[in-house]
Amino acid sequence: MGHTPAPVDLGPATALICRECGESYDLGPRYACEQCFGPLEISYDFGAVTRSDIEAGPGNIWRYRGLLPVPSQVAETPNTEPGLTRLVRADDLAESLGLQKLWVKDDSGNPTHSFKDRVVAVALAAARELGFKVLACPSTGNLANAVAAAAARAGIRSAVFVPADLEAQKIIMTAVYGGLFVTVDGNYDDVNRLASEIAGEREDWAFVNVNVRPYYAEGSKTLGYEIAEQLGWRLPEQIVVPVASGSQLTKIDKAFRELIALGLVEDRPYKVFGAQAAGCGPVAAAFKAGHDVVRPVRPDTIAKSLAIGNPADGPYVLDVARRTGGAVEDVTDAEVVEGIQLLARTEGIFSETAGGVVVATLRKLVSAGRLDPAAETVIINSGDGLKTLDAVAPVARPSANIAPSLEAFRKAGLG
Ligand SMILES: *Cc1c(COP(=O)(O)O)cnc(C)c1O
């Protein structure tokens, strides 16, 4: 403290601003306001950014580097190059739900098969510039995969902490990259608290979603940029987004507002809808009760990647949903499984439980008349079904098991 920080190259980022009281800080490894403990957020000076600059950029999130808190040469350092995942027109799913124009932003196509590669890539780039030596996180699973992989690719150490009861796929997929990997007997909120305590002791560890959270969170903006660009530089009229900490949802909204302010898309109204599992739906509960504060819950759901009982950005999710005329809704675990099956059977996309939460929420919002069936709608599939096999294993079974003979096939009476 007291010394002048060395100048850092974080591209267009200019300062950290407290979201609550507006206090401003130099760019550095901070995440909470010293005055009011509010969360810090990046502010920028974008200058002129054009569609053609972006379109001429790399085929990954670094095409938006001029809108992110990362060094200008970020694309040239070894990284996992996430993003520019497909935006799939989903006519069959739309028809089965009574919608007219629906797209799935399929983020299962990222390097470690979830949207977390975006936020980790931005956190890694900023953390290296800020002088951190280790990439760390507490995680509900996908973040663990993304941090371990990104650190391996960048040639730095990782330190990952997860609840011990995670899906086997996510445990194995973290361990395979090497690095320090600790399972903790507790839920995510316990692991998160532990990580904050460790971050206080290990000053060269960048916990991506704790002490470098302001940088990490900005990575989610790239989902919003890509959706607009892939729609032909246009905002959707409605979007349904999964909510864990709530960061992704608030940053998609931030991305849309930035694109409007920069003149890159036409200014038209859009509605943002949040999707949670009923077994961990504190933001949905607050939305429905008309509350501004989010009461923490103890998670109990198969949607483990969304199982954050005390979501850091919960109140800001409520703000976005209310300001845009959206909503936050929750669905049961049985509906989540149906959602996974519906997306798979209509569009050939196998989502993890978080995707099932989104599809089921979409269906619920349509039947409740909360979504306009004629409006252009985008939903997010944030992860790959291969990571949450147990959720569908009981209902996803072969049609039959037969001996290797034509007779056996005939006898089985199969279509
Ligand atoms: C982390 C995660 C989210 C949402 O995370 P936020 O904390 O709300 O930003 C959504 N889907 C999946 C699959 C995730 O792993």
The pLDDT tens digits for 150-175 are: 999 999 999 999 999 898 999 999 99
Q: ∠ CA(189), CA(190), CA(192), 5° rounding?
A: 65
Helices (H), 235-350: 247-261, 282-289, 314-324, 333-347
Q: What is the pLDDT of residue 6?
A: 62
Segment 237-254 mean pLDDT: 98
The pLDDT tens digits for 322-379 are: 999 999 999 999 999 999 999 999 999 999 999 999 999 999 999 999 999 999 999 9
Q: What is the pLDDT of residue 167?
A: 87
| Strand ranges across the sheet with 13-18 | 24-25, 13-18, 40-44
For atom 12 of ligand 1, the residue with the nearest CA is 382
Segment 306-334 mean pLDDT: 97
Q: For residue 358, how far is its CA from the centre of ligand 1 (angstroms)?
A: 11
For atom 3 of ligand 1, the residue with the nearest CA is 244
Q: At what angle do helices 333-347 and 353-367 cross, to 10 degrees?
A: 90
The pLDDT tens digits for 257-296 are: 999 999 999 999 999 999 999 999 999 999 999 999 999 9
Q: β-strands 238-242, 377-381: how paired? A: parallel
- Report how far residue 345's alpha carbon sits from residue 100's, in angstroms, rounded to the nearest whole number: 18
The pLDDT tens digits for 208-223 are: 999 999 999 999 999 9
- Report how far residue 183's alpha carbon sits from residue 162's, in angstroms, rounded to the nearest whole number: 5
Report whether pLDDT(64) > 90. yes
Q: How many residues does the chain have?
A: 415
Q: For residue 301, how far is its CA from the centre of ligand 1 (angstroms)?
A: 14
- Supply the DSSP string of 124-152, one letter for each residue: HHHHHHTT--EEEEE-SSHHHHHHHHHHH
Residue with tokens 């609840």: 163
List the helix and strand counts (H, then E) for the chain: 15, 13
Which ligand 1 atom minimizes the distance to the CA of 114?
Answer: 13
Report whether pLDDT(2) > 50. no
Q: How confident is the model at residue 5 (pLDDT cuts 50, 70, 90)?
A: low
- Supply the DSSP string of 87-101, one letter for each residue: EEE-HHHHHHHT-SS
Q: How confident is the model at residue 1 (pLDDT cuts 50, 70, 90)?
A: very low
CB 152 within 8 A of CB 179: yes
CB 13 within 8 A of CB 43: yes
What would you measure as the largest C-alpha separation in the chain, in angstroms?
83
The pLDDT tens digits for 15-34 are: 999 999 999 999 999 999 99
Q: How confident is the model at residue 184 (pLDDT cuts 50, 70, 90)?
A: very high
CB 287 within 8 A of CB 219: no
In the structure, which protein residues have their CB atom closer than 6 angstroms to any atom of ligand 1? 114-116, 142, 220, 242-248, 305-306, 352, 354, 382-383
CB 203 within 8 A of CB 235: no
Q: For residue 254, how far is its CA from the centre of ligand 1 (angstroms)?
A: 16
The pLDDT tens digits for 92-138 are: 999 999 999 999 999 999 999 999 999 999 999 999 999 999 999 99
Pocket test for ligand 1, best of 107, 122, 382 (most atoms within 8 A of CB): 382
Task: Spell out the domains of the chain, with CATH numbers in brackets.
Answer: 87-111+218-392 (3.40.50.1100), 114-216 (3.40.50.1100)
Q: What is the mean pLDDT of the chain?
A: 96
CB 251 within 8 A of CB 218: yes
Which tokens go with 341? Answer: 């099956």
Q: For residue 117, how far is its CA from the centre of ligand 1 (angstroms)?
A: 11
7: which residues sit within 8 A by CB, 6+ positions away? none
Query: For a pLDDT cut of 90, what percent of the chain falls above it?
Result: 95
Report pTM.
0.96
Q: How confident is the model at residue 415 (pLDDT cuts 50, 70, 90)?
A: confident
